[in-house]
Amino acid sequence: MGPSEVETLRKLPGPSRLSLRPPVDTDRMNATTLPAPIDEHTAVATARPVLDVVVPVYNEQRDLAESVERLHAYLSRAFPYRFRITIADNASTDATPAIAAQLAEHFDEVTSVRLEQKGRGRALSTVWAASDAEVVAYMDVDLSTDLDALLPLVAPLISGHSHVAIGSRLARGSHVVRGPKREVISRCYNLILRGTLAVHFSDAQCGFKAMRSDVAAELLPYIQDTGWFFDTELLVLAERSGLRVHEVPVDWVDDPNSSVDIVATATADLRGVARLTRDLVSGRIPTADIRRRLVAEPHETRPSFGGQVGRFAAIGVISTIAYVLLYMLLRSGLSAQGANFVALSVTAVGNTAANRRYTFGVKGPRDRWRHHVQGLVVFAVGLALTSGSLFALHRFAPDAPRGVELAVLVTANVAATVVRFLGLRVWVFAHRRSAPSPTVSTLGALR
């Protein structure tokens, strides 16, 4: 998003009191009485804020003034650092730009930006990319989310604990008031994201998000969507880049007058999911480079590659011996395929647990069940190799002696072991980096 897309960046000094005096007369304003545009280079410079809250708007002349007054009052009272409220108008055709300009005149901490193209994502991307704040955030103009969640939202970003923070209407502890249609659509959409993109965040579309400005600078160039899918694309890229996404349960009350077309938005989101999946599979987005630039490298606790191979081989030998003994024990009462399945299943669980602890240096209960589930997927590949070899042997040599059968299985098991090592190293126990070190500096001086 280039600077040419921003028509007006207006900031005029004025009193910092709570309410507008005189009040904004929206009945008297219309699109023909908008103030003349001011080039962004003539904007008045202000002290750098810690937080820049963007309120994207399109034809919101009815609610804009009241919402911004309420937000400004809350931040003035409850937020301990310098802040800015940026009204991002994307191609409104009513009096919204004039109201935004008047709000900017009355509040020192309010600015207004005018874009001549629609799109919430476009508005957020443009303003966030140009912001000089340490942390950038946004919330919907209807303020459906309880503002008391704002400080818990941005605190982990200011401290450096997390990279991105989102409000979640689906997290435990949240309280949501909305109709059943929106509830079902929201939950289905997030289930689709979990099934297709394997995301871990619980609520992609809640209009209450924040991120560190250095994270925004890294992620925004790779986000293509300019509409409602912008949020999802941002969060998926953050997760795939190994960034820490902090979730805050929120109290949220649906706006019954919302103009969002649910069906059209859902359709566009599904197209976005398909596109983003292709981009991630093709490697178009350099998530590893983003992670390397943003995430502090922890003290290395994993063994070297050679150490991993050695430990995996030792565990593999023990697992193979256990597999052979168990197979021979079970073979007297089960078919070859049945004995193979049971023996491989039992040893696969033990193999995953041992490799998790000793080969890849993963300790503690975190992600343990996910590791075992993914380990079972890798096990299924090994099962296909060993079962396929048995099938081929019995197909072409049905009278082969038990010794030949065992030799074929051991050979197939060796091949499955190689596949298993690669699967565990590249997928199941891919290197997870720790939380970043704090990057927000001199906060005390900015209070």
Residues acting as catalytic residues: 231
DSSP secondary structure string, 387-417? HHHHHHHHHH-TT--HHHHHHHHHHHHHHHH
CA-wise closest residue to 34 among 116, 110, 108, 142? 116
The answer to whether the beta carbons of residues 69 and 18 sit under 8 Å apart is yes
The answer to whether the beta carbons of residues 153 and 208 sit under 8 Å apart is yes
CA-wise closest residue to 355 among 413, 410, 296, 311? 311
| DSSP secondary structure code for residue 145 in this structure | B
Task: Say how far apart CA 420 and CA 316 lie, in whole Å.
Answer: 10
Asked whether the bond before 298 is cis by omega within 30 degrees of 0, the reply is: no
Beta strands 83-90; 208-212: pairing state = unpaired
CA 357 distance to own-chain centroid:
28
For 140, residues 6+ apart whose C-beta sits below 8 A from its C-beta are 55, 56, 207, 208, 255
Task: Say how far apart CA 251 and CA 146 lie, in whole Å.
Answer: 5
Task: Say how far apart CA 7 and CA 113 lie, in whole Å.
Answer: 7
